Amino acid sequence: MNLIISLGGNKNDTLFSFNEAIKFLEKDIGNILSQSKVHTSKAWGFKEKTNDFLNQIIEIKTELSPLEILKITQEIETKLGRKSKSISAIYQDRVIDIDILFYGNLILKSPKLTIPHYLLHEREFILKPLSEIKPNFIHPVLNKTIKNLLLSFKE
């Protein structure tokens, strides 16, 4: 199955963490098929001013289940110094954040995981690098291409 994930972070060693995460992803999840360049964006969802974010999209061929992937990505975040997820919807600076965006065309809603990622269409910082490698991929819930979702930010 083709898995699409995002990497994000806004601390000084985030770029190093991306490189290390890619090594772990390839070792523990599957073969990397493509990856976007690293993009810079303003912080989103923070109550106070903070560092700009780096964002990258990775496409991986995997045989693992979504919940197995979630467990592994959370372990990778911890190995690379991620302390905690956002608390009570208050975002915090982080060295790395790994989100599962798509798992083929699977639609999944569970207490632990929602696929496709429920906010990706509202995040230009995800859509830009995603459109670099998968512009014609059709969002299985919204039934729009990634390119069209990104264009909605420019209207």
Question: φ, ψ for residue 126 (rounded to 5)?
Answer: -95, -45
Tokens of 121: 């269409």
Distance CA 107, CA 91 (A): 26
**CB distance 7 to 58 below 8 Å:** yes
Q: Give the CA distances from residue 134 to residues 38, 76, 149, in Å, rounded to whole numbers and listed in that order.
A: 15, 24, 12
Strands 53-62 and 30-35: antiparallel
Distance CA 94, CA 86 (A): 10
Tokens of 105: 């065309």
Which active-site residues does the annotation give?
82, 94, 97, 99
